[in-house]
Amino acid sequence: MREPTLREIDAKTFRRVLGGLLEVYVAAMDPPPAQLPGRQTIMLKHATYPGFRALVVEQRKVFGASPVAFAYGFHGASGQWWHDVVDDELRERAGYEHAASWLSDAYEVAELHVRPEYQGRGLGRTLLTTLCAGRRERTVVLSTLDRRPETPAKHLYRSVGFHDLLSEFEFPGGGPPYAVMGARLPLVRVEAGARR
């Protein structure tokens, strides 16, 4: 079988292939099916945000190609739900200056998923570093499930300089605890002993 290939897609293409990307999301995250329509609506909205950048990894088939991994991000701004919730919480816990230092010029990585059978081959790392390469923002921020033992996602994020800005954080509306993580751009590889 051929190696999967990575390509950047614009917002229009993202909307067109969103069904296939949601299948990757389901395979990677195993969410309750009832959450999927809401997730799709949120992802469509994200594609309208400034600085939107999306990458997809595809496996060629006899007829066409199907996505096996994807990632996207955009420029965070006031008025966006995630940005405002995290900004409020960071201000309350650590003050305005601290919140501003992380969120006033931030790239937000909203989704990063690899189909289970393609995990552990370097696709997640390549997607994350390519997504962040050349970005002009000062920081990059994201949220990820906060579980014990730590998830592969958190290992990956720590290995390129992310650390927890918030831990065991419950977003409004309920759901499991999340870590909000941040890193300064550009990303740099951090050796295991030096990770925070």
Ligand X SMILES: CC(C)(COP(=O)(O)OP(=O)(O)OC[C@H]1O[C@@H](n2cnc3c(N)ncnc32)[C@H](O)[C@@H]1OP(=O)(O)O)[C@@H](O)C(=O)NCCC(=O)NCCS
Q: Is 114 in the site for ligand X (CB under 6 A)?
A: yes
Q: Which is nearer to ligand X, 3 or 97 (CB)?
A: 3
Please identify which residue in 73, 76, 124, 161 interacts with ligand X, judged by CB under 6 A.
124
CA distance 92 to 189: 31
Q: Kindly state the DSSP code that residue 38 receives in the 8-state scheme.
A: H
Torsion 29-102-40-63 (CA) sign: negative
Q: Is 188 in the site for ligand X (CB under 6 A)?
A: no
Alpha-carbon distances, residue 192 vs 139, 158, 196 (angstroms) = 21, 9, 9
Q: Is 15 in the site for ligand X (CB under 6 A)?
A: no
Binding range to ligand X, per CB under 6 A, among 6-14, 38-46, 57-65, 123-131: 123-131
Residue found by looking up tokens 């990303």 in the block: 187
Kindly identify the residues of this chain, within the stretch 17-76, that bind ligand X according to CB under 6 A: 28-29
Residue 147 Cβ, how far from ligand X at the closest point, in Å?
Answer: 10
Residue 97 Cβ, how far from ligand X at the closest point, in Å?
Answer: 27
Binding range to ligand X, per CB under 6 A, among 37-45, 56-64, 112-120, 132-140: 112-120
Please identify which residue in 31, 152, 176, 186 interacts with ligand X, judged by CB under 6 A.
152
Binding range to ligand X, per CB under 6 A, among 5-13, 36-44, 52-60, 144-152: 144-152
Q: How many CB atoms lie within 10 A of CB 32?
A: 6
Q: Which is nearer to ligand X, 28 or 55 (CB)?
A: 28
Q: Kindly state the DSSP code that residue 121 receives in the 8-state scheme.
A: S
Q: Which residues fall within 8 angstroms of residue 108, CB to CB, at 6 or more apart?
A: 73, 74, 75, 76, 80, 82, 83, 140, 141, 142
Q: Is 195 in the site for ligand X (CB under 6 A)?
A: no
* CB half-sphere exposure, 92, CA atoms < 13 A: 7
Q: Is 6 in the site for ligand X (CB under 6 A)?
A: no
- Please report, as ranges, the residues that interact with ligand X according to CB under 6 A: 28-29, 112-114, 119-125, 144, 151-153, 155-156, 159
